Amino acid sequence: MAALAGDEAVILVTGGTGLVGCGVKEALESMNKSNEKWIFLSSKDGNLIELEETKKIFEKYKPTHVLHLAAFVGGLFRNLKYKVEFYRWNVLMNDNIMECCRLYKVRKLVSCLSTCIFPDKTSYPIDETMVHSGPPHSSNEGYAYAK
């Protein structure tokens, strides 16, 4: 991610302590990141489900770019037990991130999702053209439809 005309790029990574966030951080350790400041958030940094808390994070770090990896996730039994909550909380989180990117004039937002959004009944290997070719597994509906 290059900064424009010598400006420092500030890249905010939500879900920065999760599986993908840790992978991004590890990959960056071997790269030259001149003019880039990477901030890896965890859920302890603020509740992205709450708009005001999300705004405070954007005000504090003033990101120029956002890599949105955060999500409310759980295992199979949590997915089934809290299907509506998973949907609602992930939609709120995504909406708050997008709204703050708009309000704080973030140059680029990249959002990430999981393979569990893909249809339950599909052929492999899967690719992005197949994402809407059928419903996800019923245990993933809340998360999958929110992402």
Round to whole Å and give the CA distance between 127 and 74. 24
Three-state SS string across 84-101, please?
HHHHHHHHHHHHHHHHHH
Beta strands, E only, 15-91: 36-40, 65-68
| Whether residue 143 lies in the annotated active site | yes
Query: What residues contact 19, with CB distance under 8 A and at least 6 apart?
Result: none
How many other CB atoms sit within 10 Å of the CB of residue 50? 13
The answer to whether the beta carbons of residues 79 and 139 sit under 8 Å apart is yes
Residues 61, 82, 87, 143: which is the catalytic one? 143
The answer to whether the beta carbons of residues 39 and 10 sit under 8 Å apart is yes
Which residues are tagged catalytic?
143
